[in-house]
Amino acid sequence: MENKEFAYKGTTLNGFGMLFLNLALTIGATVLLVLAIDQEVWQWGVCSAAILLVSLFLWAGFMMLEPGEARVVMFFGKYVGTFTRTGYFWINPFTVTKKLSLRARNLDAEPIKVNDKEGNPVMIGLVLVWKLKDTYKALFEIDSQTMAANNAQVGTDLKSMMAAFERFVRVQSDAALRQVAGQYAYDDTESQSSDITLRSGGEEINDQLEQKLTERLAMAGIEVVEARINYLAYAPEIAAVMLRRQQATAIIAAREKIVEGAVSMVKMALDQLQDQDIVRLDDDKKAQMVSNLLVVLCGEDNAQPIVNTGSV
């Protein structure tokens, strides 16, 4: 995409030098006016008025810029460059300038309700760090007037201008977040699934979100510094059901581990009894012993031992 922004190359003078010159013109015109009235010389009065008009004209050319700020310069509606030098300067008073902030800004978006890939409603939020990069696109490629709250006039006020851009970023961030969230499930529905989910995606999900935001905000000359999901949860209407499902999945996984360990311990017990020839068990006794051991090892409650004083 063509970069239409360029540096302002018009006449630029030191602001302090022009300030002293303008003060001198104003004082000189005032003195000359007093003399013209005192001496009743109308020609001096005309010269004094002309000098005052020139002085008033020069006052309109002063401009101050802080680090991290820029001024878009226009001459009778034509873009003539972007001024980014910090300090106090004087430029052509016929030009019109609009100040913009190039500093990084945060957007901590409130969680919004979206549907994931499986149609489940989830609450998801993001934190975004952004800044203006292309001042031409920011002012002329999008309509900042319609972005202002309540259709208020933005004008040249820095706070109003940046508030308009923040609203644009917020709307596009919501759209990008919905787009990314709709491509993935909240969590694995099957334990064997290897698909990326919103919970397990981590950096990959954040990278895709940042890419989508960059594509959407590039038209406004906005650079995405960083974008991350900072809130993720099921929507309240299904949160309780999904919590029970997660608890059931965890219980099943724990039971599988318990049974696996119990079978291993029973096998080890039977092998040692046979190897050391402690007691000889037929198949029925082995089955009874396996059943008793599995009950003891897999049961949640403490087993109550029963002493067998008869035959094994």
3-state DSSP of 98-151 = EEEECCCEEEECCCEEEECCCCCEEEEEEEEEEEECCHHHHHHCCCHHHHCHHH
Structure-block tokens of residue 45: 């009065």
Give residue 148's pLDDT. 47
Cβ–Cβ under 8 Å, residues 59 and 33: no
Return the biggest CA–CA distance within the chain.
142
Q: What share of the chain is helix, strand, coil (3-state, %, to 5)?
A: 50, 20, 30
Q: Which residue has the tokens 């787009």?
A: 179
What pLDDT score does 238 carry? 66
Tell me, what's the pLDDT at 150?
A: 47
> How confident is the model at residue 214, as a pLDDT?
93
Query: Tokens 């709307």, residue?
Result: 171
Q: How confident is the model at residue 152, as a pLDDT?
A: 43
Residue ranges, the chain, pLDDT below 70: 1-2, 144-156, 188-194, 238-242, 244-248, 250, 273, 277, 279-283, 286, 292-312
Q: What is the pLDDT of residues 228-265, one digit of tens each?
A: 998 888 887 765 666 766 666 767 777 777 777 777 87
Residue 272: predicted pLDDT: 75
CA dihedral 148, 149, 150, 152 (to 10 degrees): -40
pTM to 2 decimal places: 0.70
